[in-house]
């Protein structure tokens, strides 16, 4: 071994020992786990209605998705699938998770148990957050938080199905837009819709489409404005 190689070898050994000590020290500290967002889900199956099936997935980070099957128009084939992703409003996001907490995250029976009630569809509410995974089925519930959640999800479904039909009519049957928008505006005034901003893109298309009747474009604009959607004038 030459006089100059000895210091280099010693330096390399020190570097290796330092790396081993550092890696051991880091391993001693628990790594911060990435927590998956909590999710509230809702589904409804109601044969002979339109849609006959739909389901929501609402994530605590604000992402939401909706899937449904059913006739788009009376002339459509049964079971047409529909999917959309949207950002839910902060107010409804907070309300949905607050109501889920009040309903004890659906851990246990939530159905009224009354057998003489007419069927309003087979419904399921679910909750998951990594540690908890619960769900409950019901036709009708006496629990106020469950009733409120059911109304929110049903109103959101109504809104998104309006958007689905408007998209179709704007492309293929523009004269049908007027009746659809009139009915949508009436329901919005009655507070029977939720998350109108989720269908803002199609409303904006209608407003910008000069081949659509002016009265229909005006209705679409009023809906945008009422929803406080971006781009509303």
Q: For residue 223, which of 159, 153, 155 has the smallest C-alpha distance?
A: 159
- Across the chain, which has 233 residues, the per-10-residue mean pLDDT values are 50 48 44 75 93 96 96 73 96 98 97 90 96 95 98 98 96 96 97 96 97 98 86 47
Q: What is the pLDDT of residue 229?
A: 66
146 to 111, 121, 153: CA distances (angstroms): 9, 15, 11
Q: What is the pLDDT of residue 71?
A: 80
Q: What is the pLDDT of residue 34?
A: 64
Peptide bond into 51 cis (omega under 30): yes
User: Taking the model in full, what pTM does it have?
Assistant: 0.82
**Which residues, other chains included, contact 185 with Cβ-Cβ below 8 Å and sequence gap of 6+?**
219, 222, 223
* Segment 63-102, tens digit of pLDDT: 999 999 988 877 776 667 999 999 999 999 999 999 999 9
Q: Residue 96 is encoded by which pair of tokens? A: 């949905």
């Amino acid at each position: 071994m030459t006089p100059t190689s000895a210091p280099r070898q010693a330096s390399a050994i020190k570097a290796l020992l330092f790396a081993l000590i550092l890696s051991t020290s880091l391993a001693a500290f628990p790594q911060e786990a990435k927590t998956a967002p909590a999710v509230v889900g809702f589904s409804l199956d109601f044969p002979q209605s339109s849609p006959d099936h739909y389901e929501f997935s609402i994530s605590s980070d604000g992402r939401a998705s909706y899937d449904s099957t059913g006739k788009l128009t009376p002339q459509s084939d049964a079971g047409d699938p529909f999917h959309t992703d949207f950002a839910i409003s902060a107010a409804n996001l907070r309300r949905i998770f607050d109501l889920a907490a009040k309903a004890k995250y659906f851990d246990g029976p939530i159905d009224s148990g009354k057998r003489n009630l007419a069927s309003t569809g087979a419904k399921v509410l679910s909750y998951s957050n990594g540690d908890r995974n619960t769900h409950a089925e019901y036709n009708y519930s006496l629990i106020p938080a469950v009733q409120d959640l059911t109304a929110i999800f049903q109103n959101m479904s109504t809104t998104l199905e309006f958007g689905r039909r408007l998209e179709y009519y704007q492309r293929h049957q523009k004269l049908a837009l007027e009746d659809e928008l009139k009915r949508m505006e009436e329901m919005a005034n009655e507070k029977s819709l939720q998350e109108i901003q989720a269908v803002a893109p199609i409303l904006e298309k209608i407003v910008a489409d000069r081949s659509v009747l002016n009265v229909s474009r005006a209705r679409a604009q009023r809906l945008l404005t009422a929803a406080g959607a971006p781009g509303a004038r």
